[in-house]
Amino acid sequence: QVLIEELRHRYLLPWCDIAAQSLAQSESVLLPLAESFRRDLAAIGEA
């Protein structure tokens, strides 16, 4: 559980933020995918 939380907090959530920013700048249709992935990861932390 600790390993999952560390990976989520240190790597996955920041990656989602960077991906969403990059996709938003390029007005990519993939932006909702990055946002959905981030919401799912955030929900794991709340569980």
pLDDT in tens, 6-24: 999 999 999 999 999 999 9
| pLDDT grade for 46, boundaries at 50, 70 and 90 | confident
Q: What is the pLDDT of residue 38?
A: 93
Is 70 exceeded by the pLDDT of residue 47?
no
Angle between helices 13-25 and 31-46 (to 10 degrees): 160
Q: Is 27 helix (H, G, I), strand (E, B) or coil?
A: coil
Evaluated on CA atoms 24, 25, 26, 27, the torsion sign reads positive
> Using one digit for the tens of pLDDT, what is the confidence trace for 24-40?
999 999 999 999 999 99
